[in-house]
Structure 1
Amino acid sequence: MKFLARSLGLILVAAGFVGLVIDGTRSIVNNSLSFASVAGMVDALVPGGISGLQEKVTSQVHPLLWDPVLVHLVQLPASVTGFFLGAFLLWLGQKPLEPIGYLAGR
């Protein structure tokens, strides 16, 4: 399980870095700060996009979860969100540290 968390974390950190480079390039070309949002990425990758996600959350979980919480989360920059989510998964999947002064086998 830790291997899966580390692998997915490394992929998300790399994707966040690539997204940050793309957003930076787009910002330089447009002469204004612009980021691709999580909502834009979900719309591009998932059929049904944000509207399908909204219907599922409001019908299956709770309608109040969508409006105050998830509306703000899908407006975050996708590159920064992917980077922090990947860093969190890397932290969860790290190997336990060996205690100092402990000799294995004795």
Structure 2
Amino acid sequence: MIWLAYGFFILGLFFLTFGVIGLIRFPDLYTRIHPAGKGGTAGGLSIFIGLMIYSGLSALTLRLALISLFILITSPVASHVIARGALESGIKPWQQKDKKQ
């Protein structure tokens, strides 16, 4: 079971790493929100699942499950609120300019 937990830790680091790469590579707030939200949610949940497997069946597992549920619910909502606030503040979405070929 310990190897399964390590697998979830590595999977979580994979999601978080690609979320950070997306933050660096994408051009504006609206496109950066997607990898940040998905990477944070999927990475955090994977790490918490790994911690639940690692800790075994205990009271800590229940706490980790509740924290995971909280992250699963609030992270997408927070991403949506940030994007909505940016749009209402007048921040324009990035548009690719036509390139002559």
Q: Hey, which of these two has a bigger chunk of helix by percent?
A: 2
Scaled by the length of structure 1, the TM-score of the pair is 0.41
Larger radius of gyration: 1
Scaled by the length of structure 2, the TM-score of the pair is 0.43
